[in-house]
Structure 1
Amino acid sequence: MITAPSVAQLSSRFEEAFGTAPDGVWQAPGRVNLIGEHTDYNEGFVLPFAIDKTARVAIRVRRDSTVRMLSTYGDHGLVETDIATLEPLTAKGWTKYPLGVVWALKQRGIDVPGLDLLLDSDVPLGAGLSSSHAIECAVILALNELTDAGLAAEQMVLATQHAENAFVGAPTGIMDQSASLRGAKGHAVFLDCRDQGVQLVPFEAEEAGLVLLVIDTKVSHSHADGGYASRRESCELGAQVLGVPALRDVGVEMLEEASGLLDDVTFRRVRHVVTENDRVLQTVELLSSDGPQYIGALLDASHVSMRDDFEISCQELDVAVEASRSSGAIGARMTGGGFGGSAIALTPARLEQQVRDAVVIAFADAGFTTPDIFTVTPADGARRLA
Structure 2
Amino acid sequence: MTTSTPLGTAVRADFERTFSHQPIGIWSAPGRVNLIGEHTDYNDGFVFPFAINRRTVIALGERDDRLVRVSSSFSDGVVEISLDDLSPENLHGWSAYPLGVAWALGQFGANLARVTGFEIYIDSDVPVGAGLSSSAAIESAVAVALNDVWGLDLDRRTLAKVGQLAENRAVGAPTGIMDQSASLLGQADAGVFLDCRSLESEVIPLGFDEAGLELLIIDTKVSHSHATGGYASRRASCEAGAAALGTESLRDVSVADLDRAAELLDDETFRRVRHVVTENQRVLDTVRTLREQGPTAIGALLYASHESMRDDFEISVAELDLAVETALSVGAIGARMTGGGFGGAAIALTPHALIPAVETAVIAAFAAAGFGIPDLFVVRAADGAMRNE
TM range (shorter): over 0.9
Any idea what the Cα deviations from partners look like across 1:184-235, whole Å, max 9, x if unmatched?
A: 0010000000111111111121211211100000011111111111111111
**Could you tell me which of 152, 158, 162 is aligned with 1:159?**
162
| Cα drift, residue 280 of structure 1 | 0.3
Identity, in percent, stands at 59
Q: Distance in 2 between matches of 1:339 and 1:148?
A: 40
2:348 pairs with 341, 345, 352, which one? 345
Show the counterpart of 1:257: 260
Aligned ranges 1:1-386 → 2 under 5 Å: 5-74=6-75, 76-112=76-112, 113-386=116-389
CA distance in 2, matches of 1:204, 1:17: 43
Q: With structure 1 as the length reference, what TM-score do the two structures score?
A: 0.97
Paired residue secondary structure (2:136): helix
Report the Cα offset of residue 60 of structure 1.
1.1
Deviations 1:332-374 (A, max 9, x none): 0000000100000011111111111110011101111100000
Q: Which amino acid aligns with 2:344?
A: G
Deviation (angstroms), 1:114 = 1.3
How far residue 145 of structure 1 moved from its aligned partner, in angstroms, is: 0.9
Asked whether the 8 Å contact 2:92–2:171 carries over to 1, the reply is: no
Q: For residue 84 of structure 1, report the CA deviation from its aligned partner.
A: 2.1
| d(CA) in 1 for partners of 2:130, 2:159 | 24
**More displaced 10-residue stretch of structure 1: 201-210 or 179-188:** 201-210
Partner AA of 2:23 in structure 1? P
1:6 is displaced (CA, Å) by 4.2
Deviation sequence 1:132-191 (CA, Å, 0-9, x none): 110000000000111111111111111111111111100000000000000000100000
Larger deviation, residues 24-33 vs 58-67: 58-67
Normalized against structure 2, the TM-score is what? 0.96
Q: Which runs of 5+ in 2 are unaligned?
A: none
Indicate conservation of the 8 Å contact 1:100/1:167, yes or no. Answer: yes
Q: Deviations over 1:83-130 (max 9, x none)?
A: 222332543332110011011112334134311111010000100000
Counterpart of 2:39, as a letter, is: H
Contact 2:330-2:358 at 8 Å conserved across structures: yes
Distance 1:312 1:6 in 2: 34
1:213 aligned partner, one-letter code: L
Q: Distance in 2 between matches of 1:89 and 1:265?
A: 34
How far is 1:70 from its partner? 1.4
